[in-house]
Amino acid sequence: MTNPSLLELPRGVQLVYLAEGGANVIYRFVAAPINSSLVVREPKRPVSPIMIDEPRLPVGFQGKLLRLRKKTAGDISYKEINRNFNTIVRPLFRPEELVDQSLILLPGDLIQRCNEQLVAIELNGQRPKKRHGGYLCADEPFGLLITDMTTFDTPDATLAELKPKWLTQSPSAPSKARRCRTCALRDMKNDDARSSGSKEQRSFCPLDLVSDCFEDVLRATTFIKGCIDQARLADILFHNPVLQTLRAQQTSWAKVGLHGPPPLSQKASLDMTLRDCTMFIKIPHDEKCPVEIRLGDLDLKTGAGGKSAYWRKIELQLLDGGWYSGSNSSQDHSDCALQDSTH
């Protein structure tokens, strides 16, 4: 018997492929009659919708996206992911600061149909090549209904997206470090990129995002995609309460690096989760309208499958290679906030 409190995916919507990462695929809901000639086209990715019967989109599904789980090595069920989110992550933030999520029961044949579509869009070049061969988990009965932070329903708005990463320094870093954890890692990766002939990466220093100096925040916005008006974005981010809350939580859960809790513990997982989330900033054209800022990608990270060993290996490489101290011979000037620090 179905749990009466459990959401079920309604009959009467189309699912349109929107985007995907290594572990999930995201779909939009579109209400349309079965016999409609509607063809939904996403920018640069015209993928035909998957129909689920009658033309109706319930009010509770407006402003939501559907997230479906891929088959991965970790293979953590959405039921467990959602339980961890509700019990561990959700209490750390205000509801309006999070990309919300809730379990939703899927029709029995939906995953198969979605996987068939993923194969089809591989063949016609509509799916990123790096995602080819990865498909949805056939024995996952649930999806996740998540807050829609796209601008499809608000075309006059813009969406900025960034990874705040380490808003506080790694406790393993030397006391006189001249690179924060993020900038040290970027320097190391760029050294590898130069050796292999690959493109180097430039980005903001996370410490600039939470600086008390507006010019530092403005400097960071130069590297944030999705917003042309950098001054307005900097004004939004300067002393932003969501960023401040995230930094406070990272400070509270700061036993990362080489001397933290056991690698496979829940505490270690939360430490790393808080340093790998995504901030979505929906900015309306009308400056009198409120800006919506939410944190997503907050599935509890796991150190299983060699990840904890990888995290430790990276930290040792940053220390042993002199990347934190800025003493590696391949390092030049950096935009890191600690570049000119004397303490």
pLDDT (average), residues 209-224: 96
Is 90 exceeded by the pLDDT of residue 342? no
Tens-digit pLDDT profile for residues 287-313: 999 999 999 999 988 766 667 778 888
Query: pLDDT digit string (tens) for 98-142?
Result: 999 999 999 888 999 999 999 999 999 999 999 999 999 999 999
Evaluate if residue 335 carries a pLDDT over 60. yes
pLDDT of residue 36: 35
Q: Does 41 score more than 80 pLDDT?
A: no
Q: C-alpha angle 71/143/116, rounded to 5°?
A: 55
Q: What is the pLDDT of residue 39?
A: 31
The three state secondary structure string of 42-96 is ECCECCCCEEECCCCCCHHHCCEEEEEEECCCCCCCHHHHHHHHHHHHHHHCCHH
The pLDDT, as a whole number, for residue 221 is 96
- 32 band by pLDDT with thresholds 50, 70 and 90: low
Beta strand spans in the chain (E): 7-8, 13-20, 24-30, 50-52, 64-69, 101-105, 142-147, 158-162, 278-283, 292-296
Percent pLDDT > 90 in the chain is 65
Tell me the Cα Rg of the chain. Answer: 22
CA neighbor of 24 nearest in space, from 88, 111, 124:
111
Residue 282 pairs in a beta bridge with 159, 292
pLDDT (0 to 100) of residue 329: 84
- What is the tens place of the pLDDT at every residue in 134-187? 999 999 999 999 999 999 888 899 999 999 999 999 989 999 999 999 999 999
Q: How confident is the model at residue 227 (pLDDT cuts 50, 70, 90)?
A: confident
pLDDT band at 30 (very low <50, low <70, confident <90, very high): confident
- DSSP letter at 286? S
Residue range 56-84: mean pLDDT, rounded: 88
Q: How do beta strands 142-147 and 158-162 pair?
A: unpaired
**Ordered structural domains, the chain, with CATH:** 7-147 (3.30.200), 158-320 (no CATH)
What is the Cα–Cα distance from 225 to 129, expressed in whole angstroms?
A: 22
| Among 206-210, 223-227, 309-313, the range of highest mean pLDDT | 206-210
What pLDDT, in 10s, does the model give residues 229-283? 999 999 999 999 999 999 999 999 877 767 665 655 666 788 889 999 999 999 9
Phi/psi at 294 (5° precision): -140, 150
Give the pairing type, strands 101-105 and 142-147.
antiparallel
Where do we find the tokens 């002199």?
Answer: 322
